[in-house]
Structure 1
């Protein structure tokens, strides 16, 4: 069997793993942030970054996640305890440091919020790690993308990437509530063109070098960059509906519920799973129709963003009792409310209607799962922030440098990760690499990405794609 076919077979026909394990493995990200926050707030270790501080930062927020998906994948609870227990001890026995606070950055209606930066940075790191690690035996097959039905860490990662993009995509609308449709169209086109170009470039390179690919993931020609690139213009097209239905979450539910109806009652599910690949539509049916689910996830992320991004969040009318509450209480209430809603909706869809998650179709339970997970994790990050840091502290002091740097150039970092993954796969036979060499190679890979991101942030180089 050729190396290409062997690699394709390695990621084909998988059924994923249990939800609780996925949660414990991915909890390594907020657990590492918990320990970092304890060290920063109690010992000021990261107040002024130096060599040891950078090593410790990368060890916690990069190497900890690498361990969780490789060498410690069978013991995720123990790994999380290694982060959490020292953090709890520091919290209990050491008083907060009395450092002189720097002037709070991020003036205006949309200040930078540490928990959002930490959440997006952690999600980005584990996503970048998984896209390369999946090609090695050290990465458990239950974490790789499932063929059709089931849940896995990588299925969670791709949906979370879209949700996180939606959270910050609402910023232009919050900055200018009277933004014109013409400007919205210009902004969406500006955002889309680079992503669509990247999608086309990836397609040409994949076909040109005969790179291994999993056709049932998105189709023959479609790839994730096309999905990302089409989200902004479709959201703009839906902005007219939003004026009549002022809730991105409700709009998301209407779209994905309608999509689920056609999957179950109009033969769409059978078409996506079994239709012969005879034309451009049927060849790319997974990518084209799953886009509906990803659009719903993106809209749900935007709905959360409009509540947690502003300095003075406006809560829905039914939370009238909290109108005089502080900003932090309002954010906590909104995240707790939506985490409960999305989780309940997911459980209802899978238990009462007996629906099964399918990332391949991005169906209703998949969308609900992604939303429930991400809002829940945002809530965890937010609770860590309010536990260790005062509201007036500087954003930079409350976020690990590596997470802030990767978030600063999020999409370019993701593109660099894809490029390095391609180079490594073309250069070596990843299936022949044993456990320790694979771990060392993945270590070098994430160190390269993180140090590149830190260097670009220090030089204030931000690539807008």
Structure 2
């Protein structure tokens, strides 16, 4: 996916720019961090390599002309992410930004059809985006399990009740989206999740299942639970469930939403893999993790970035190997094993492999720009997106519906299409900016 490095290149450009210039306003960060990504997903999709080369050239020029003894920039924003976790905040925000761009741009002619979700089998940008959203949510949730205290080891009841509260909030967002789309008769693809199901419902059922899995994690690692769930689900698919999902008529509430209900097991597995990654990232003693104990000769590095890079690189290789094995075992040719629609085992491993590599790229960038003392912090725009991510995702969905009802998107010119998508992203990010920095509002689920 050659268009994805534009995310890292844009972030790298921002880290270089802020060493010399004031790029703290919403408008400046929108131009540097959003517009290049929007262009690479739309009008410049066939010229992504040229865009990345241009961005990297600008980064190199700025980096070479920046004084190495530049003073550290202190970040006084309330609730800002600690410096070591910058890469995680950037990763989460870029996943959300990429998703928000795609859900509207796909309705315009500037969005390449190869980026749109496939009907049943195959891969695309939007297919990876859905799974990555779930994985990133798991990574963040992994913080609660990274360094458990003695009191936290027996908190199942409390955790389960808290998960129900989170579920209620997410399911409420799901019903809001369902009612709004059905009320305006917004065109939807029933084969994606079903007649009534939507992505918020999938997210809404994750917390209680996660609480149950967490109660077992004292004895069984999240990664083992995740892989067991994925293999078990794939086994059921192979014994008739896949045929039912793809071909059975919609005769009742269950069959009407068969894709959303059944694929939940796949997304739950992805979430568990994310939890395991989060435990690794948030661990206060990386040298005591399973991987670094296996590579003792490298674990002696003093840099926490170095330890994390070793661990992430190791797991990236392991999951890529598993992905390759499963792809060769499961029937299908030419990438026809992967299905976002049913969230099968190849799809799960594809998402996991991609996200470990994606996070690793951001860690390497931060290791250079933070580890060397240059003082990079998280862009305020990314903080704004992360603070109210799900709310902004709902806003993006509603705006997408409004725009589609207001103009004939498929017949818009390239210039109008890009302008509308740019204004839409400006509004979405500005709402997040206003909520966080003007109203001090954070949606807690």
- TM-score (structure 2 length as normaliser): 0.91
Query: What is aligned with 1:19?
Result: none
Counterpart check, 1:463 vs 2:440: no
CA distance in 1, matches of 2:86, 2:308: 13
CA contact 1:104–1:393 (8 Å) conserved in 2: no
Tell me if structure 1 keeps the 8 A contact 2:147–2:283. Answer: no
Residue 57 (structure 1) aligned with residue 34 (structure 2)? no
1:70-89 pair list within 5 angstroms? 70-89=42-61
**Residues 1:364 and 1:249: Cα distance change in structure 2 (over 3 Å):** same
The one of 156, 163, 184 equivalent to 1:188 is: 163
Q: How many Å apart are 1:327 and its aligned residue?
A: 1.6
Task: Tell me how far 1:38 sits from its aligned partner.
Answer: 1.9
Return closer, same or farther for 1:213/1:100 CA change in 2, 3 Å cut-off: closer
Aligned to 1:327: 304
1:442 to 2:421 alignment: yes
CA–CA separation in structure 1 for the residues paired with 2:122 and 2:194: 19
The answer to whether the 8 Å contact 2:121/2:338 transfers is: yes
Matching residue of 1:342: 319
Q: Given the alignment, which residue of 375, 380, 384 partners 2:365?
A: 384
Query: For residues 205 and 105 of structure 1, what CA distance do their matches in structure 2 show?
Result: 36
Q: Distance in 2 between matches of 1:454 and 1:414?
A: 14
| 1:253 has 2:227 as partner | yes
Match of 1:16 in 2: none
* Unmatched segments (≥5 aa) in structure 2: none
Query: Which one of 235, 246, 258 corresponds to residue 210 of structure 2?
Result: 235
Gaps of 5+ in 1: 1-22
CA distance in 2, matches of 1:442, 1:67: 10
Tell me which residue corresponds to 2:12. 34
Once the two structures are superposed, the pairs formed by residues 104-123 of structure 1 within 5 Å of their partners are 113-123=85-95
Q: Structure 2 vs 1, CA of residues 69 and 323 (structure 1 numbering), >3 Å: closer, same or farther?
A: closer
CA contact (8 A) 1:105 1:112 kept: no
Q: Could you say what secondary structure the match of 1:451 adopts?
A: helix
Distance change (3 Å), C-alpha of 1:175 and 1:104: farther
Is 1:292 aligned with 2:265? yes
Q: For 1:198 and 1:39, locate their aligned partners in 2 and report how far apart those are by CA, in whole Å.
A: 38
- The 5 Å alignment of 1:142-153 reads 142-153=114-125
Size of the aligned set, in residue pairs, is 433
Q: Distance in 2 between matches of 1:249 and 1:88?
A: 39
The Cα offsets for residues 231-254 of structure 1, whole Å up to 9 and x where unpaired, read as 111111223332321x11121111
Distance 1:390 1:234, change over 3 A: same
